[in-house]
A and B are shown apart, each in its own frame.
Chain A
Amino acid sequence: MYLSWKEICHSKGRFFFMMLIIALLSYLVFFISGLANGLSSDNASAIEKYSHQTFILQKDADQRINRSALTSDTVNRLRDKLGTDRTHPLNLLTTTGNKVNKEQKIDLTFFNGQPSQSSSVTLIDGKQPNKASTVDIIIDQSIQKSGVHLGDRIKDQLSGLTFRIVGLTKHTTYSHMPVAYLNQAEWHLLSKKAALNSARPLESAAVLTSLSVQEAKELTHGLPLSQDVQVLSAADVIKSLPGYSAEQSSLTMMISFLFLISVFILGVFFYIITVQKRSQFGLLKAIGTGTAYLARSLLFQTLIVLVISLGISLLLTWITALVLPSGMPFALSLATIGTRLAAFFVISMISILLSIYQIIKIDTLSALEGR
């Protein structure tokens, strides 16, 4: 440890730049991961609430839940076949509303699932609406960005209905819009009014079942239906949400490239430095420094560099999360941070092992003579 510490102190500049590069790289990884998670959650968190369920959509919808429209006949036949107790329709309506007495328009989506469904989302403020109420709703807290708060009333432009916000939920957005949960009575009212205005009945987007994709496929196979249907996992539905794959794949690609660059910097950098110090290691071995000592000192040095730079990048990430405007979708879970940190450590350990192998391999004499 003595040697590695002395070297760091003596070559402060070199080590500072190395740490800076690693810190910035890992900061970028954290930042983009946060963005990817944030966007994913902003787009799909309401659908993720059904992640353990299997979706049945209209086949012509091409896996897109926003395009799927199942007639009530189809819904009934599917539920009869799969068992009404383990299925429920999911109704959703994307619409525009405005705060009562305000002009500003707000995009939002109404969700209506199983009666018990809305109670499984976590309230961060307010209370659950009365089951029989025809005006009380809970809505995602992101509506507050549009100046709508607890107790405010919003008017749906499609149906002309007015709802009162009695509770705010978290992680319940769909296609970057806040989701408002309606109970059966409210949905009934909404579908009647909206159908009146658009001259077509509101249809269900999907039938959800607790059966597995395989089971649901087998049971619905050959079922006489007036519409073709497709059985999908929640993950497939999420992937097909508008913009979801495009957002995620470009960010995932950036993260992969950053990791690739990190591999080069950490791996090749440390490796080359070791090769460059060949004659020094040769000398140290010649005067009686054991290989184990040299390996330990290399390990220690890499760990110091790593811990300091990752510490700095976590600090930067934390500051970033604090100063980001609240509208910016940014979400970093401890699990994500953990896996990214682990990846950096694994990359470094591999480079250390390569370097240690270099040290073991060094032939003292030829290293000294510069051969």
Chain B
Amino acid sequence: MDNAILSFKDVAKSYPDGENTLDILQAIDFQLNKGEFIGLVGPSGAGKSTLLSLAGALLNPTQGEIYLDGISMASLSPKEQTALRLSKIGFIFQSAHLVPYLNVKEQLLFVAKLHGTAKGDANHHADELLDKLGLTHRSKHYPDKLSGGEQQRIAIARAMMNDPSLILADEPTASLDFSRATSVVEWLSHEVNEQGKGALMVTHDERMLRFCDRVIQLEDGKIRSIS
């Protein structure tokens, strides 16, 4: 139990749909431990993105509890949830969603600034991340000058910038070619295992699953298997 970063306790999510309710997720129960990299697979519409949003407190569950580092997230105010996302969660969305008027390095420095990290440390960390993701030569460029793959790698670097304990990635490699995708995911899983973080990654690419410690298969809003 001590080892858990994220745990879902019998979580359900539904939306009102006229007279009825639309059950998107049901009876989700699992635990993500320190140093663990979990893959999340399932057909489109299975509820993978919704599960990730719940884990990142972008949504509140209709039922059940979600704990991040032992804290029940539903009990927090929206403001506290925002602060939690800033300090503990690294989000990687399907599309990069970079801030158009910040250059590559500034994208990273901005989150450090929000977090209140000392300038020197932030600078050092940003350089390190850019180097690891092969983006050092791009650090002064603005997003509109970068390829989709480069943008996505910056989004990944940004997610790692505040040293989050939980990384939530929604198809992060969709816009990367195979060799680039492999090296990025390998690096992510290495970071997670090495630094005792936790990661939940949605992917459609079976070939990425070999870097995952466990794979959760989602179907029709329910967990079909965890392996």
Contacts and interface: CB of A to CB of B under 8 A. Distances in A.
Contact of B114 (A7, A9, A289, A364): A289
Contact of A6 (B83, B97, B101, B114): B101
**Looking at chain B, what size class is its interface with the partner chain?**
20 to 34
B100 interface: yes
Interface of B is mostly: helix
Interface in A292-321: 293
Interface in B64-88: 79, 82-87
Contacts of B53: 365
Contacts, number: 60
A209 interface: no
B93 interface: yes
A197 interface: no
A365 B82 contact: no
Contacts of B97: 279-280, 283, 368
Contacts of A288: 82-87, 89, 111, 114-115, 162
Contacts of B83: 288, 290
Interface in B85-122: 85-87, 89, 91, 93, 97, 99-102, 106, 110-111, 113-115
Interface of B: 53, 56, 58-59, 79, 82-87, 89, 91, 93, 97, 99-102, 106, 110-111, 113-115, 142, 158-159, 162
A285 interface: yes
Nearest to A7: B101
A284 interface: yes
A287 interface: yes
A365 B89 CA distance: 15
Given A11-B101, A290-B82, A365 B111 contact: no
Given A11-B101, A288-B82, 10 more contacts: A2-B110, A10-B102, A279-B97, A280-B99, A286-B93, A287-B85, A289-B114, A290-B82, A291-B82, A293-B114
Interface-centre pick from B83, B85, B87, B159 (highest chain A CB count, 10 A):
B85
Interface-centre pick from A6, A7, A284, A286 (highest chain B CB count, 10 A):
A286
A219 interface: no
A259 B127 CA distance: 50
B86 A3 contact: no
Contact of B99 (A9, A284, A285, A293): A284
Interface of A: 2-3, 6-7, 9-11, 279-280, 283-291, 293, 364-365, 368
A368 B58 CA distance: 11
Contacts of B85: 286-288
A145 to B, nearest CB: 55
Given A10-B142, A365-B53, A285 B82 contact: yes
Contacts of A286: 56, 58, 85, 91, 93
Nearest to A365: B58
A2 B97 CA distance: 19
A281 to B, nearest CB: 10
Given A7-B101, A280-B99, A365-B58, A287 B113 contact: no
